[in-house]
Every structure is written in C-alpha cells, then in structure tokens.
Chains A and B, each alone.
Chain A
C-alpha cells in the first residue's frame, strides 16, 4: 500500500513523484521503461517566452526542472531583453543525455520514492474514488491517490508517410487499454497529434553555409538556488539555415504522401507548431522558412532541425533535407514523425487537477491536452502538491491568474478546455506584467515554504532578498539629489538633463536614460544584481504595474464571489441558452471562472451575479 502512485515518468511524472515523496508520502513511480525517465523526445531546449517563466515558478515552489536544467544545459540565453520587463525569459539548450541522467539520480536519492517498470492498464475505482492501479500482468497495487502523467503513451500511433505503427516515441510500447478504462469511467477522450523533425549527423553538416547563433556570456541560471549552470562553461552554439523554393516544391509534389495530407491522421495537431507541410501550404507566399540546427547532446552526434517537423515518407524527407543549404550531404539519423495519442477533456478537471469524476485521481501533462516539457512539469508539480494535500485532508493550492503562469495554464485548461495541444504564450496571461521572470520567487516562494517543499535555509535566503529589496527601495525614496556641480556633471555624463529642484533617487530612476547601476555607483552602495534588477523594474514600471494590479483586483472581486452549491442553471431566468449549457458543463466554482467560459457573455454574468446575490440557490 502506497500513499500515492504516479503513472508515467516524463516531466510531469518526475515533478509529481518528487513533490509527493518530499512531502512525506510513500510514493511509487511506475513507468514503461526506466531508461526513459525525464526523456526529451522532441526539441532539446527548455524555456522560452512564458515557458521559461514557468520553469522559474516551478523552482520558486520547490520543483526540480530548473535545477536539473542548470545541471545539464549546453547553452542559455535571456530572450526579449529589449521588449519590456514582463516578457523577458530564459531558454536553455539541455543535453538529452545529461538531463534524464541527473533527474534519475535525484529520484533515486529520494527516500520516500520507489521506481517500478511496468504498464498500468487499469484503475481500481470504488464508489467514484480511486484505490490503486492494475498492471498489465494483472497485479494490483493499492494507494490513497493516483496521478496519471501518461504523456503521449495512451494508444499512441507513430506516423511516417502512409505507414502507421501502434507505438510510442522511440518505438516504445504504449498503453492499450487505460484510455478505454477512462472512457468507461465517463471521461471524454480526445485524439491529439503532434510531431517532431528529423535528426541529422553533426559531421555531415556544412556549418560554414549556415549562420552561427551564440548563447549569452552572462552567468544565467534557471534556479534561484543554483550557483552556476553547466552552460557557463559550454555555451555550445546553434546554427541557422533556411528552406528554399526547391524544398517547397518537393513538399508540394509529395503532399498527398504525408500522413497529414494523405488523410492518415485523425488527431488534432497544435496550431502553434505546424509541420513544414502546413507551413508551405498555409503560407504559400513565403519563399523561405527558418530552420535552427540544435545540438541534442555532448555524448552523441544528433543535430535537431527545429522547424522541419514532418510526416512525409522517409525518402521524401531525404529529398527535403538535402535541398537545404548546408544540409546537402546531411545524413539522417532519425526520421521525422507524427504521433497521435489519447487525452482527456481537461474541462473534466478541478482547479486542483483532481478529476471531477473520480476522487483522489489527478492528471497532469499531455494527458490533459497540453504540449511542452515545461507545461507538463508545472502541472506535475501542482498535481503532486494537491494529491498530497488532499490525502492529508488539507485545502488545495490554487494559483490565480495574477499569481503565476501556472495559474493561467490550469485555469485555461479547466475553464476553456482545449481543441489543439495547448502551449503557454505570454499573450494568454492578462496580467503578464505581474508574472515576470525576475519575481517568480517573490510571487510563489511563500507558498512553497508553507507547503513544505522549500526548506528553512532557502526560505531564509529568500527573506533576506526581500528585505534587501525593501531596504533599497526605501533608500532611493529617502535619499535626495539636489542641483549642484557634482550632480550636474553626473547627469550630463549620463545624457540626462540637469535638475531644477531636488528630487529623490526614486524619482530620478524614472528617467529612461538613468539606470540603477549608475545610481548605485554614484551613491557608492552595493547590492546584488538581482536585487538591483527587481528594484529598477518596480520603479521604472510602477505606473503599469499599478494598473495591472488594479485590473487584477477587479478580477479577484469576481473570483471571490464563490459558487459553492450546485446550481440548476436551467432554472435561472434570462440566462442565454448557450450560457446555461456551458455553465452546466464546467460547473464553475466562482463568478470569475464563469466569466472566462467561452460562450458565457457579460450579460449572462450580470444575470448570474444578481441570482447569486439574492441567494436564490435551488439545489437539484
């Protein structure tokens, strides 16, 4: 008997299992192949806009992904440095050998966590409550809670051209019956599709024909607690090349032979991640598309061609690759493929990631219809935390949309549902100015500590940082600069106008040309870089941040109007019929959540609000 069983050892499963074990639960992680723990079957990078911030949030809460990336990165960059404070994000190239290795080490060191290699084909459910799992050999293992993080391994098929095989990535076996069992339990099953590009041999590429893309020279880390990342020593470059008219012609001529356009795929593919076939068809007026050549590992020779995801037959892939500049003689080591898999309708989940249908059953990652390592890991962490809290009889951790990208992600999943695999984007967050890379710890570390995933030492370090930020803010507010020879010279040197009257340094910092570093130098004070950065953002963007907070307040107001009892929406007069149906389906827990359901209009919310205020609850 375990406390919690986690099914699947991908990015969601690893975070979930670690969180459960660290919170003192006897945890079992069951996975189809122990060699594939924390495997990266697609791109060799972690982070990027929005996603990179999720990795920081995972770290702030006490998850593993950030630390693990720092241990295995080949290159790291800060993106969007000139586009505003809210959208800056880290992205690292992670070594596909080191990353899983490091994660496995961490998992094996965890004392409450056991590993098992097997396939789960059934769930033990009694009176709508999960009691354990049944393995393919018929063995039953019991537990108080189960977290499903099955990734793309539910009834997956790999497609290359007209060929279709029932298997998971790397030719692995997949689960044949679990999704049927979920269907029997009342889950709506979706069929989704994604794809991956070909890998080619490093030594067969003419790199001199491509453009080199370097990493950052700064010492950047994902984790708030890592001292350095391996990328500091490595900074392995990527390379840029392009498709051309010849490539597009090959694709057009063979379109019908691809799994997608030949009609062999039933799943819905991601909009943000079109295959090269899609790009050529949908954007036929573009004469070239960007391709990035990214190293997969220091331990083998594969180069990943980002941008060339395809489901063409192998011989056509050969022609496509060889038509590209720099890849004329490239040797394909692994062909591109499309993969189809089963997922559940995420609208059947609660905000805690527990399913509405079966108590103590949680799901996270691609089974919920998301895509991306970061989205999976984030959900895994939240599912692990909430499964632990649930069996301990505590309230779940529900992050709000103004608190974390993880809050946005989960709220989108359970409120709006998905049609195609879901990717986090900065534009999905209404309050992204509040959800920055620099303040993930300020937003979430407190939660991590309260839950028990952040230890005392790290917490004290965090409090120290917070104290210093406040101290510096206070100092800048209270210290004044007055017009005199010294200040005039200082301002002139930095291309700023001389002062008319004395102002505080806080006000001075609002000038676009004045940075906090030059103020630090002028005042002869010394603070760590991250403190300076935080203070500078808070001062320079004060107006915007204030506005975002006001907007968030409005949202929270609706959020705080709870819908606790079950409502018979059919009986509410004046509610539009579409709204009734949608509300019935989602069963929102607050007026705020109701307002985000598509098809529920502001007028419906007004009607519902009046209804709730009058306390006209009618139980079913």
Chain B
C-alpha cells in the first residue's frame, strides 16, 4: 500500500486561495477525519464539497474539497484537493492538521513520481513536469509545458511506429521466406526510408540543442581591451535588470557572475578570470584561452571604445570571433563617436553608453533580434528538453547513419534489422517504451502469412 502524502500545490502566500493536494490509498479517509461537512467516503467521485477543516473541535478554515477517486486522477491514486483561504498562516494551519492525522508531507516531485510509477504519464512527460517546476523563464516554461502535453511522447511514438513497420517488413521476409507475394523490402526502399528518418531526427536534435539555451540561459562572454568599459556595461546590465548577482569570492574561472532576464530569456554572464580585476582579459588569458571562452559562449560581446579611432589591437582581435554569435559593442557614445559601423566587419554592431538610463537599449534590442529570430516556439515543434533525451536521440541518429553506410556496403538485411532495432531501443528509452512484442504485433497486423 502506498502511504498518503500531501503538499501545498499553490505558491505560498500568493493569491486569495491555496490548494493542498492529498494523494494515496487513505487520502479520502484521512481528510474525512478532520472535515466537517458531507461524509467524504460516501460522496461520488469528482465532486466538490463545502465544509470546515477541524483540529479536534477547533475550526481551522472554511474550505471547498474536491474528491477524486482513482484511476482518473493525476497520480492514479485517490486524490483530495482542499481549497482553503490563501495566506501563509491559514494554509500552514490546514497542512499541520493533515499531518496530525497521519498524512505525510510529500517530497518534491513525489506526486509526479507516483503518476509515473502508476503508469499515468511516461518518462518524458515526468521529466517535463520536473522541467516545468524548475523552469527559469517563460520560454523554458513553454517548452516544458508543450512536452508535458505529450508532444515528445507523441512524436517518439509515431516515429517508432514507422520504424517498427520497417523492421517488421524485413522480419516477415526472414520468417516467411516462401511467401513471395509479401511486399519484398529492397535495399533501395530501405535506404529511402532511413534517409527520411535521418532528416527528421537531425531536425529534432538540432532544434533541441538550440533551445537548450533557453533552459540553461545564454552563456555570454564579455571581451575587450582595457578601459573600454566592460565592467560598467556589466554592472549597468545587472543593476538595471535587478538580477541576482552571485559573486563567489576566490572561485575558479568560468563562474557565472550574474544572470539577467531579458524578456523571457536568461543571459548568464561569465566573468572569466574577473573582468573587474584586470580589465585586460586578452592580455591576461592569452589568445588561446580567449578563443576557448569564445568557443564556449552562446553570445560574445566584444567591447570597443568608440571615442577613439579603431586601434590596431582591436583589428588583430577580429579573427578570433565567430561572427554569427558576436555583437560588437561600440561604447562611450556619450564621448563622441570616432568609429563608424562600416569599419567593423561584423553584422551585429551597436552603439552604447553607460551614462544614460537607456544607453544599453540598442544592445538589448540586438540580443533579442539574435535570439528571438522568429517566434521562439513554432507551433507543434518537437523539442527534447533535457540532456538525457537529446543524448539518446543523437545516439539514434548516429546509429541510423551507420545503417545507411552499411546498406551501401551491401550488408545483409538480417544485420540491418538488428541495427534498426537498436535505434528503436534508443528512442524507446526516451519515453520508456520497449520493443520485442511490439514488432511481432506489427508483423501480424500488417502481413498476411501462415498456413
């Protein structure tokens, strides 16, 4: 028997109403013990009841209680939801009363874990719930939500169905070699199919990787010669956005200096070796290390002092950057600009100043332009949202590529089929499905064989 757990399901202290969720075999019985109103053990499933939560004889709160019996509940167990008055104190009181009645406080994510263990949601959905809870910004939340609704599961499911059909068509030719009227799977047909699969998977993997930055934040590096205003730009960005600065003293390189939220996406600004301390990153780190930093960043801000003409040193730095992820920031606009945009061989170039409130707006606009190219989430776009899923999809992709190679080398179908099954397994791990019986089912549904 699963013990009964409870937790406050709404944000504490926000809003006029709080909801406490209770789940487990004895949820109805135990809530009923401290409820004055209808006898909850006798009411119909999925109904709402008005009454009071009591501790012994003391009234705690006036509440509305939803009773939902298994299996049609979030956890597939009996679930009770208590709508009580918002506010930290009263909600806590109701929760304490439940704990007194032998209900255990749920661990983080435990309701979802139960939903998964009881088979209501699959692995990718369970993961999405976790992502949803942990999402740092609106975009991350949106992606997590879309996969919770099962879009990953659906995609993987459909993809695997197609793959199973393909495998079954090879298998049927192996197990029923005498049936010549079964559609013979030829190498050409197989190759064409595998190519289609590859295109689909490649798109998913690429998209998913790109969208990872919305989850993890855009890793941003700031580079420039001494006294061009790197630290003031950093400070300006941070202060203005009221970001949480986690300055950790004595830490190693690549530590996240600060995180700012730009209309729903996070920029994680790394202070490699401390911009503020030395002011001369390139000199201190050397060219090789700067290159590495540029490599690892999603966005690089290359700061140039605009009040002087373009220095030779600046020009020497140009080849270090990857143009598609670099914004050249011509700073100190307030001191009069000596450098024209045309002199800079980059496509993203902005003028800024840290002397005015709006002095960095042009930079922010440019960042948004770079990362919000279109609408972030196209409708029905499939995005794998954690590294585990992406790694599995990537492995599947590479296995399929291998299959294509082997087809060209004339490897026998039996072996090709084994490789395809491995692809099926990899993808199945994303959602937690598995194969052998499934193939047989597909085989017998689609082919006409037998005595």
What is A's interface to B at a CB cutoff of 8 Å? Answer: 42-43, 49-50, 79-80, 82-87, 196-197, 242, 270-274, 279, 282-283, 286, 288-290, 292, 306-307, 309, 416, 425-428, 430, 432-433, 512, 541, 544, 548, 570, 573-578, 598, 601-603
Contacts and interface: CB of A to CB of B under 8 A. Distances in A.
A289 B181 contact: yes
B449 interface: yes
B26 interface: no
Contact of A283 (B117, B418, B448): B448
B210 interface: no
A598 B434 CA distance: 10
A209 to B, nearest CB: 17
> Lowest 6 CB-CB distances: which A-B pairs, in order?
A84-B414, A84-B412, A273-B450, A283-B448, A271-B444, A427-B171
A82 B179 contact: no
Interface string B406-436: 0001101111001000000000000010101
B217 to A, nearest CB: 30
B414 A86 contact: yes
B67 to A, nearest CB: 21
B177 A79 contact: yes
B47 interface: no
A575 B1 CA distance: 10
Interface string B170-186: 01011111111100000
B118 interface: yes
B345 interface: no
The interface residues of chain A, by DSSP majority, are classed as: loop
A518 to B, nearest CB: 18
Nearest to B428: A602
Contacts of A602: 432, 434
B171 A197 contact: no
A84 B411 CA distance: 8
Given A82-B412, A425-B171, A512-B409, A272 B432 contact: no
B180 A290 contact: yes
Interface in B1-47: 1-2
22 contacts: A80-B414, A84-B413, A86-B414, A86-B415, A87-B174, A272-B449, A282-B448, A283-B448, A290-B178, A290-B180, A309-B450, A425-B440, A426-B171, A426-B175, A427-B175, A433-B415, A433-B418, A512-B409, A574-B113, A576-B119, A601-B432, A603-B432
A608 B171 CA distance: 34
A430 B448 contact: no
Contacts of B444: 271-272
A427 B412 contact: no
Contacts of A548: 418
Nearest to B414: A84
Nearest to B179: A290
> Which of B176, B409, B439, B448 gathers the greatest number of chain A CB atoms within 10 Å?
B448
Nearest to B429: A602
A543 to B, nearest CB: 10
A422 to B, nearest CB: 11
Contacts of B302: none
Contacts, number: 109
B367 interface: no
Contact of B448 (A50, A82, A289): A289
Interface in B225-242: none
B414 A87 contact: yes
B111 interface: no
A592 B116 CA distance: 22
A83 B448 contact: no
B84 interface: no
A273 B113 CA distance: 42
Contacts of B450: 270, 272-274, 279, 307, 309
A274 B436 contact: no
A428 B436 contact: yes
Contacts of A87: 174, 414
B437 interface: yes
B451 interface: yes
B451 A512 contact: no
Nearest to A194: B451
B443 interface: yes
Contact of A309 (B176, B415, B451): B451
Nearest to A43: B451
A306 B409 contact: no
Nearest to B441: A271
A286 B448 contact: yes
Interface in B150-175: 171, 173-175
A306 B181 CA distance: 14
B439 A427 contact: yes
Given A83-B173, A427-B171, A430-B436, A290 B117 contact: no
A425 B436 CA distance: 11
Nearest to A420: B444
A290 B451 contact: no
Nearest to A433: B418
Contact of A273 (B116, B413, B432, B451): B451
A75 to B, nearest CB: 12
Contacts of A426: 171, 174-175, 414
A290 B451 CA distance: 10
B443 A288 contact: no
B415 A544 contact: yes
A271 B412 CA distance: 27
A387 to B, nearest CB: 30
A457 to B, nearest CB: 35
Given A80-B414, A83-B174, 8 more contacts: A49-B176, A82-B412, A84-B414, A273-B451, A274-B448, A309-B451, A426-B414, A541-B415
Nearest to B176: A49
B116 A603 contact: yes
Given A49-B177, A433-B418, A83 B413 contact: yes
Nearest to B171: A427
A544 B418 contact: yes
> Which of A272, A307, A430 gathers the greatest number of chain B CB atoms within 10 Å?
A272
A50 B175 contact: yes
A82 B2 CA distance: 55
Contacts of B113: 574
A575 B415 CA distance: 37
A290 B2 CA distance: 56
A49 B415 contact: no
A341 to B, nearest CB: 17
A246 B412 CA distance: 39
B409 to A, nearest CB: 7
Contact of A49 (B118, B175, B440): B175
A84 B116 contact: no
B181 A290 contact: yes
> Which of B173, B174, B415 gathers the greatest number of chain A CB atoms within 10 Å?
B174
A274 B432 CA distance: 32
B448 A576 contact: no
Nearest to A289: B448
> Which of A290, A427, A430, A544 gathers the greatest number of chain B CB atoms within 10 Å?
A427
Nearest to B3: A573
A49 B113 CA distance: 44
Nearest to A84: B414
Contacts of A574: 113, 117
A598 B178 contact: no
Contacts of A283: 448
Contacts of A541: 415
B412 to A, nearest CB: 3
